[in-house]
Structure 1
Amino acid sequence: MEKTGLRAFLAVILSMVILFGSQYLYTKYYKPQNQPVQQKEEVKKEEKPVTSQILHFPSDKKEETKPIVKDVKYKEVVVENEVFKVVLSNEGATIKSVELKKYKDSNGNPIKLSSGQIPAISIIKDGKVDYAKIIFNVDDSKATFKNSTEAVVVFNWSDGSISIKRSFIFNKADYSMDVKEEVSGIGSYYVTLGEDFGIFDKTNAPHWGPVILKEAQRIELNPSKIKEPVTYKEGVKWIAQEDKYFFSAIVPVSKAQQFVVLPYNGNTLIAAEFQDGINQYKVFTAPKDYDYLKKFNVGLEHIVDFGFFSIIARPLFWFLKLLYSFVGNYGIAIIILTILVRIPFIPIVNRGQKSMQKLSELQPKLLQLKEQYKNDPQRLQKEMMELYRKYKINPMSGCLPILLQIPVFFALYKILTIAIELRQAPFMLWIHDLSAKDPYYILPILMGATMLIQQKMTPSTADPTQQKIMLIMPVVFTFVFLSFPSGLVLYWLVNNIFGIAQQFYINQKIKKAK
């Protein structure tokens, strides 16, 4: 049982090292075209990949599809509200770019989200007409909020047999656009989010690319694994493209026929299928702000992925923001949250540390039994159990506090790595961004030092060789944490300091009792 307890402890520590190490390697070296990550959700059997007969994408061969340009000049229309600035184009009646006013890049400029060769909200059907190149008539007489609570831009095009009218409606304070389409003569057609629209930074994202909410299930798709079109029909609430902090999405208001994810030039396109008639949907280009997205009541808050322990992560996230509302600093809020989360575990940790102390003191007797019954394993086990009962020791109790804290730890880990609230949030002194690594590596080094101190203070039942191996752990953790967000390292550092204080108290109490 003594070996089992030690092995369980080692397994927990090694699992954490593997988790952190894989996260570090993924964000540092991941290149989608060469090393795809595993999809979280495989395509279900009833949703077999199908090749659509109505889709055709523009390629590098310009002669395949020709833009339709009549006596209308190219024009861009700018619509600006309190939170974003949208540039619409009458070429395809599409979205050219969106600037998010409240979020800045590394140079202090507003975050700008735009798409590649296929513009956002392009209409895609067949190779006869390149709808993304049609020059629409545009009515932008109501494109401002002057004397109105709404801004409206209307695009029109008709060639006699086909007519398309697309209206964009904006309000003053939201990252959303209401789109209304009146279409005739096309039949079935697709509206796509465009290539990489909504994605700002792929380098540090746990996932980037297509994501779908089907019923209450969030389905992430890896762009490099999509080799054929994949369709989803029933229960889809929205389709989106995401990176770590930002996203774009189509949320159908009128019923869509189906949704499809398609391979395109080594990347993917995600689209919704509609029929002739009047179709309505919302387009979001927004930050991953959980509380803001939840108010729309369409499940968009699930774009924020709290992971496996989301049932714990959500209330902790809410509490972190509550603390911030009082102290005005997310670094201080993390410190307070770390301490408050540790408090309920104090009695369990105390009992575990006392048990480990007793077990450490019992080592000479255990070694004597091992020597005495080295040729009789069954008798040795029996005598050890008698010794444990006599001194009222449970050899597994030292691992119990760690095992109980794992769900809370992973929930906090997820919060501190994905929360947009921590993006560019300063702490103090040299820490100007809790979502970025410590530029001078001071926090990771302090974290490793406190981990070593705590390890030295904690009684151990391992033999000298195993104790030396365990001393490698703080070094490994230090190197793994070098590139981790400062907010996460701060949490771990405070957790260690709290553990040191608790261990010191227990050691003094035991010493006094003796």
Structure 2
Amino acid sequence: MQKILRILIIVAMLITAYLLILAWRDDYAGKPATTAPVATQTSSSADVPSAQMTGDVPSVSAGAPADQQTANLISVDTDRYEIKINPVGGDIVYAALKQHNATKDSNTPFVLLENDATRTYVAQSGLMGRDGIDTSQGRAVYTSPRTSYQLNPSAGSLQVPLVYQKDGVTITKTYTFNAGQYPINLSYNINNTSANAWQGQMYAQLKRDNSKDPGLDDKGMLGMATYLGGAWGTPDDPYNKLKFSNFGDGLNVKSKDGWVAIVQHYFVSAWTPSNSFEADFFTRTTGNEHFIGYNSPVINVDAGKQITLNSTLYAGPKIQSEMAPVAEGLNKTVDYGLLWPISKVLFAILDGIHKFIGNWGWSIVVLTLIIKIALFWLSNKSYVSMAKMRAIAPKLQALKDKHGDDRMAMSQEMMQLYRDEKVNPMAGCLPILIQMPIFLGLYWMLVESVELRHAPWIGWITDLSAMDPWFILPIFMGVTMYVQQLLNPQPTDPMQAKMMKILPLVFAIFMLWFPAGLVLYWTVNNLFSMIHQHLVNKRVAREMQAKQA
């Protein structure tokens, strides 16, 4: 029992240290400088020191300046998006996700991309190079047949064309939105009707400032553990994270089927180049703005010819089934950490249960039961050992009274008693050791899975991914933990007995800020364990009585 107590204390200390590290990082580690970008409807341009571009256009040799003017934004409305496109550059400067509310109690959609006085986060693309229409002096100003587009569900898709014409070259930049889908298709058609060959490169990038992750506004204390930064992947190297602080070091990667992204809690935006060319991935930082994107190889369009370049933008929730077809490894932005194999299996089972039950909370209850059944054999051996320890507790107390302070003699007789009674005192540690990886894997699964964001259970639990607002579940969990202790053999040492009584309170306090779904799992697990242990205690007691008779 002393070893079990030590393990419980070590677990409590580790959780405490983990929470303190998170709190320190939130308060002191690398807080970004406060920025206040000016709201504008025009794309910014920056100077080009020597050959390195530091603004909205990647590093290229500057060509002739493109026309630039203030223009009205183009609105796009689909079943999944509210989109605004800036005709200057043709960038997506606003994207609200209609199927995800900003907060649990709001009816406004979650805004992923925006460019205003509080935050800069946009998806940009263009044509650069010798004859490129996007340069350090300005961006191309497109025209469009309409300023407002709406997807007709019966049509299945919606195309938003943007046209730029100059010197006999017509550039048609087209966004295609598909009903029921987050991936946005982008195409550049370069139609060269001039007498000269056209040369340039396509680029696509994400630009973001140092503003905080808006997805954490209603997540409480432990929301700060999630990742905000860049990521990229290729078929040979599917998932890599890159902190904003490392963007200035650059990224020297070439890929034909890769992706670049900015990742935040629950949501991601990512560009994937066409597999028709090998793209160069890049990152850079300019002031308080961070860029991650790709450049195509140099494209040549002979006079009288045309060419079409394609790319895909994913800007939405981190739903693995929807990201996986976009690019290999993009679904790994649902980052479960070191215990990802456990988290992935748990989510697959939980998702399967949810398809039948329709409620994530009750799905967690069923998942807990499945885990208990899967671990029944080990748990049963552990409970039998603890029941035998409980039965021989009077004999252990007698040995303590007999030997007093002679710990050596007492330990020798205790070990002999364990052998005679076929009791393994360490067997009681098994449930704790086995449950901790599952517990941590479930924690990261609940933290990272957008499917559980704002998912209700019953009554006051309206968001399983957030803390219990009334602390009812953590308190009840502490009660179940205390009752479960009463079913276990009690320590013979008075100090250890007091520590064991305090532990349920300590764990209940820890659980106050954990996601309600995780506390629900632990509470239901305690209830199932109590029933199991009670039945085992009764059976072992009968066997011990029969043996003595």
**Residue in 1 aligned with 2:429?**
399
Which runs of structure 2 are paired with 1:116-127 in the superposition (5 Å)? 116=115, 117=120, 119-123=122-126
For the pair 1:471 / 2:469, whether they are aligned, the reply is no
Contact 1:167–1:179 at 8 Å: present in 2 too? yes
Inter-partner Cα distance in structure 1 for 2:532 and 2:259: 48
Deviates most, 142-151 or 481-490: 142-151
Secondary structure of 1:309's partner?
helix
For the pair 1:438 / 2:451, whether they are aligned, the reply is no
Secondary structure of 1:95's partner?
strand
CA apart distance, 1:91: 0.9
Deviates most, 418-427 or 215-224: 215-224
Which runs of structure 2 are paired with 1:393-432 in the superposition (5 Å)? 393-432=423-462
For the pair 1:246 / 2:243, whether they are aligned, the reply is no
CA apart distance, 1:471: 3.2
Inter-partner Cα distance in structure 2 for 1:31 and 1:186: 46
Task: Please provide the CA RMSD for this pair.
Answer: 3.9
CA apart distance, 1:12: 3.7
CA apart distance, 1:451: 1.9
For the pair 1:207 / 2:205, whether they are aligned, the reply is no
Inter-partner Cα distance in structure 1 for 2:500 and 2:289: 44
**Residue in 2 aligned with 1:81?**
78
Contact 2:94–2:114 at 8 Å: present in 1 too? yes
CA apart distance, 1:231: 3.3
TM-score (norm 2): 0.77
Which runs of structure 2 are paired with 1:150-169 in the superposition (5 Å)? 150-157=157-164, 160=167, 165-169=172-176
Contact 1:257–1:274 at 8 Å: present in 2 too? yes
For the pair 1:113 / 2:116, whether they are aligned, the reply is no
CA apart distance, 1:97: 1.2
Contact 1:77–1:88 at 8 Å: present in 2 too? yes
Deviations 1:65-90 (A, max 9, x none): 998436x7724323333222322121
**Residue in 2 aligned with 1:170?**
177
Which of these residues, 480, 485, 492, is aligned with residue 455 of structure 1? 485
Inter-partner Cα distance in structure 2 for 1:474 and 1:66: 71
| Cα gap change, 1:141 to 1:58, in 2 (>3 Å) | closer
CA apart distance, 1:285: 0.8
Contact 1:115–1:194 at 8 Å: present in 2 too? no
Deviates most, 384-393 or 402-411: 384-393
**Residue in 2 aligned with 1:497?**
527
Which of these residues, 267, 271, 274, is aligned with residue 296 of structure 2? 274
Inter-partner Cα distance in structure 2 for 1:17 and 1:462: 27
| Cα gap change, 1:450 to 1:145, in 2 (>3 Å) | closer
Inter-partner Cα distance in structure 2 for 1:201 and 1:288: 12
**Residue in 1 aligned with 2:41?**
none
Deviates most, 181-190 or 460-469: 181-190
**Residue in 2 aligned with 1:55?**
53
Deviations 1:294-317 (A, max 9, x none): 344633221212332322322321
Which of these residues, 95, 98, 101, is aligned with residue 98 of structure 1? 95
**Residue in 2 aligned with 1:194?**
207
Partner letter of residue 95 of structure 2? V
Percent same amino acid at aligned positions? Answer: 27
**Residue in 1 aligned with 2:144?**
138
CA apart distance, 1:452: 2.3
Contact 1:74–1:91 at 8 Å: present in 2 too? yes
TM-score (norm 1): 0.81
| Cα gap change, 1:34 to 1:355, in 2 (>3 Å) | farther
Partner letter of residue 261 of structure 1? T
Inter-partner Cα distance in structure 2 for 1:473 and 1:418: 28
Q: How many residues align?
A: 489
Inter-partner Cα distance in structure 2 for 1:79 and 1:410: 41
CA apart distance, 1:95: 0.5
Inter-partner Cα distance in structure 1 for 2:199 and 2:403: 84
Which of these residues, 487, 512, 520, is aligned with residue 482 of structure 1? 512
| Cα gap change, 1:479 to 1:432, in 2 (>3 Å) | same
| Cα gap change, 1:408 to 1:343, in 2 (>3 Å) | same
Which of these residues, 250, 253, 265, is aligned with residue 232 of structure 1? 253
Secondary structure of 1:429's partner?
coil
Inter-partner Cα distance in structure 2 for 1:100 and 1:344: 39
Inter-partner Cα distance in structure 2 for 1:497 and 1:344: 16
Partner letter of residue 244 of structure 1? H
Contact 1:164–1:182 at 8 Å: present in 2 too? yes
Contact 1:79–1:143 at 8 Å: present in 2 too? yes
Partner letter of residue 134 of structure 1? A
Contact 1:144–1:151 at 8 Å: present in 2 too? yes
| Cα gap change, 1:130 to 1:265, in 2 (>3 Å) | same
Partner letter of residue 192 of structure 1? Q
Deviations 1:458-512 (A, max 9, x none): 2244622123233333223222222222212211211122222223223333333
Contact 2:247–2:291 at 8 Å: present in 1 too? no
**Residue in 2 aligned with 1:44?**
none
**Residue in 1 aligned with 2:302?**
none
Contact 2:230–2:261 at 8 Å: present in 1 too? yes
Inter-partner Cα distance in structure 2 for 1:324 and 1:26: 37
| Cα gap change, 1:465 to 1:73, in 2 (>3 Å) | closer
Deviates most, 213-222 or 428-437: 213-222
**Residue in 2 aligned with 1:43?**
none
Contact 1:123–1:132 at 8 Å: present in 2 too? no
* Structure 2 residue runs without a partner (length 5+): 34-48, 191-196, 218-222, 300-307
Deviates most, 188-197 or 489-498: 188-197
Which of these residues, 279, 284, 294, is aligned with residue 262 of structure 1? 284
Inter-partner Cα distance in structure 2 for 1:235 and 1:475: 55
Contact 1:327–1:333 at 8 Å: present in 2 too? yes
| Cα gap change, 1:436 to 1:8, in 2 (>3 Å) | closer
Inter-partner Cα distance in structure 2 for 1:290 and 1:487: 20
Contact 1:5–1:399 at 8 Å: present in 2 too? yes
Contact 2:127–2:201 at 8 Å: present in 1 too? no
Inter-partner Cα distance in structure 2 for 1:462 and 1:11: 20
Contact 2:123–2:205 at 8 Å: present in 1 too? yes
| Cα gap change, 1:382 to 1:363, in 2 (>3 Å) | closer
Secondary structure of 1:308's partner?
helix
Inter-partner Cα distance in structure 1 for 2:143 and 2:358: 49
* Structure 1 residue runs without a partner (length 5+): 36-50
Contact 1:115–1:195 at 8 Å: present in 2 too? no
Inter-partner Cα distance in structure 2 for 1:272 and 1:16: 41
Inter-partner Cα distance in structure 2 for 1:186 and 1:141: 30
